[in-house]
Structure 1
Amino acid sequence: MSVCEGSIRGMLAVNLRRARIQRELSISELSRRSKIGKATLSQLESGAGNPTIETVFSLSRVLEVPISDLLDTRPAGGLTVVRAEEAEVLSGAGVDLRPLQRVDSGDAVFEVFDQRVRSGRRQNSLGHVGTEHTIVQAGRLGVRVEGSEVELAPGDYVGFDASLPHSYTALDGEVRSVLLLQYRADQRLHLSETVPAAPCAIES
């Protein structure tokens, strides 16, 4: 079975290559800027890699595109239902993200994620494109943004410039939250431009 059909891994393989070529970057240069090994990038572009939150957010930062331009895009309109058990999970050192929806609204793009911070864990980010909004649903969440620290309880909200270094920490058991990433429309990857696709990895 080809992994380039609908999965996060498959969508990343196609979109990463497209974004890299549009930015006129070699794999070596992208590796240098993102601090991701050339072998890892080659695997990701072939659909054979295993992307993590850290990898995807680093690529988003360097390529200056929304996360959903690298992962998946779901058409808006009508009734959209995404079942929790069916959403693919993108995991990092301390966080599990489930991409739920992308909303294009004129001059802005929004991405909605179910975000779960694992008990006692911290998720660090060097920063990436966009503005970050988080609403805590359950648990206590520690948020640090370039030296400023706040603690959030259920129902609390925080928003900040996502290009700044930041981190999330689960302070008391697992934290469940809604993560909303907001981008300017001009930060979108031009998906209509045709770029030769790399061969997809085949799973037996």
Structure 2
Amino acid sequence: MSHTNTPQIGPIIQRERKARRLSLEQLAALSGVSKSMLSQIERGAANPTFAVLWSLTRALKIDFSDLVGGRAAPADDSAIEVVTAFQTPEIKSADGACRMRILGPPQLVGVTEWYELEMEPGSELDSAPHAPGAFEHFTALSDGFEIVSGDQSCTINAGETARYRADVPHRITNRSTKVARGLMVLHYR
């Protein structure tokens, strides 16, 4: 019986992450895999599950077979890429009341990012300042959002867009009595 060497996945993940200019924190947000787990995987100190590897390959847009085969293939830029709902990374608040689906591609993290936001009634997404010069553009798909940026605030309803500084503390609150949805674009200068 012939034995093959176990693929060295950590260095491939690290190479692909760096090629896309992603920090560990950015890849963690895109993949749903914790920053500490990513660090352990890259160092070869952890043995990731299939689910973790699947999440990482989807976030990095590499084929799973290329990852376990010891190489990663460049994405075909001429093709139409379809990301299924199952493959779309999601971030949830600790209480589960706010859900953000990451709609933007990993290679644009830190440049332009976009998200679909869904919030339970009365919940809020409270954010620390992003990088200097960062702006958010939030379009309400339902009524009753309150936007706070620094010491400024406003209320927006379905179809309206608020554009505001995101390099100061900022917050989005669902003031309605229903689940509310919106689209957010974060642009770094």
- Give the TM-score, by structure 1 length: 0.52
Partner of 1:15: 23
Please show how residues 94-173 of structure 1 align to structure 2 within 5 Å: 94-102=97-105, 109-129=111-131, 130-172=134-176, 173=178
Give, in whole Å, the separation in 2 of the partners of 1:163 and 1:18: 17
**Residue pair 2:91, 2:99 contacting (<8 A) in 1 also:** yes
Partner of 2:183: 178
Number of residues paired by the alignment?
134
Instruction: Tell me which amino acid in the other structure corresponds to 2:138.
Output: T
Q: Percent identity?
A: 20
Distance 1:110 1:102, change over 3 A: farther
Q: Secondary structure at the match of 1:127?
A: coil
Q: Cα distance, 1:72 vs. partner?
A: 4.1
Structure having greater relative contact order (Cα 8 Å, sep ≥ 6): 1
Distance 1:144 1:82, change over 3 A: same
Q: Secondary structure at the match of 1:83?
A: coil
Greater gyration radius = 2
Give, in whole Å, the separation in 2 of the partners of 1:18 and 1:104: 10
Distance 1:77 1:100, change over 3 A: farther
- Give 5+ residue unaligned stretches, structure 2: 1-8, 11-16, 28-33, 47-57, 62-74
Runs of 4+ with deviation above 2 angstroms:
40-48, 71-86, 102-105
CA-based RMSD of the aligned residues comes to 4.0
- Give 5+ residue unaligned stretches, structure 1: 5-10, 20-39, 49-70, 185-204
